[in-house]
Amino acid sequence: MPQLKESVLDALKTEESRRAFLAKFASAVFAGLVAPAVAGEVAPVQAAAAEQSGLTDEFDATQLPEAVEGEHPIKRMMADLRRALQKPMEQRRWGMVIDLRKCTGCNGCNVACITENKLPPGVTYRPVMTETHGTYPNVARRFIPRPCMQCDNPPCTPVCPVNATWKRSDGIVVVDYDKCIGCRYCITACPYAARSFDSGYFYGDFEGGERQPYELLPSPEYGENRVRAEEGSPIGNVRKCHFCIHRIERGELPACTLSCMGRATYFGDLNDSKSLVSELIGQPNVMRLREEMGTEPKVFYLV
C-alpha cells in the first residue's frame, strides 16, 4: 500500500508537470507568433494585479475616460471623424485603439469586415487571435484582434519591386491592385502577418461549384467597386486592411469599429488632441505589438 500511494503521488506530480509545461509552451507559441509585446506587457500587469486581488488571471482594469457630457463613444468618434475630414489629408493621422479587456472574441468585427469588403475565402483583414490559458478547471481565453498595423515605418513598402504598396499622406498603407504582380514579398516582410494573397477561390467552389450571387457584388475597396472575376484584379494580388478608406472618406467609421458589440474598438485622428483615440493612447496601460522592430504601428492596445 505505501508503494502504491507513492506511485500515485509520483504520477500526479508528473501530470502536474506535464500540464504546466503544456501551458507554458502554448503561451510561448502564441506570444511568439502573434504578439511578443503582449508577453512583455500584459503578463506583468496581470501577475501584479492577481497578487493583489488573490484571483488568478484577474487584474484591476484602468477605466476608460468618460465621454464628453455623456456622449456615446460612437457619437464622439463620428464627431472626431467629421472634424478630421475638414483638414487636408496630410494633416490627418488615422489610428485605432483596441481594448483587450472588452474584446469578447465574438468575431463580429471580422465578419463585418468580410461582408463590407466582399472578401473571398482565404483572405481576411481582421482575424481575432485566441489564446487559452490556465489549468483546468480554472481556464480562460484572451482575444487579440489583429488588423493591419498601418505602420509609420512599414517594412512592406520598400520590398515591393513595382511600388504597388505605399503609405498615403494620412498614414494608411494601401495596395494598388493594378500594379501588384503578386510576388508576395510584402507578405514575407510584414512582421504581423497582416497581408493575404487572393488565390482566386470563391465560396461557391466549395458549395456546388457555382458562383453565389453575393460573390458577384462589387467591392467598395478604395472606392473602385471592383467585381472579382477570373483573370482580373484583385485575384492574384496581395490584399490587406485599409481602415475602410472608402467609408472614412464619406464620413463613416470603419466597419469593424461600428460593429464591435463590446465597444472594444476605437478609431480616429491621432493628430487631433481632442479625439477619443488621442485620449486613450495617453493612458498608462497602452501597448503596441512588436515595437522593438521600429515599425511604429498606429494600432494601440489597452491591456
pLDDT greater than 70 at residue 109: yes
pLDDT of residue 227: 93
Q: Considering the entire predicted model, what is its pTM?
A: 0.77
Q: Which position has the grid cell 501597448?
A: 287
pLDDT of residue 214: 87
| pLDDT level of residue 208 (50, 70, 90 thresholds) | confident
Strands (E), the chain: 94-99, 128-135, 138-145, 165-167, 173-175, 195-197, 238-240, 265-269, 286-287, 299-302
The residue ranking higher by pLDDT, 75 or 67, is 75
The residues spanned by each domain of the chain are 10-302
Q: What is the domain class of 10-302 according to CATH?
A: alpha beta
> pLDDT, tens digit, for every residue of 3-26?
544 554 454 454 444 444 434 433
pLDDT of residue 49: 35
> pLDDT, tens digit, for every residue of 187-202?
999 999 999 999 999 9
pLDDT of residue 70: 66
Helix, strand, coil percentages in the chain from 3-state DSSP, rounded to 5: 35, 15, 50
Buried b (16+ CB within 10 A) or exposed e, 238-252: bbbbbbbbbbbeeee
Q: Are strands 94-99 and 299-302 parallel, antiparallel or unpaired?
A: parallel
pLDDT of residue 6: 53
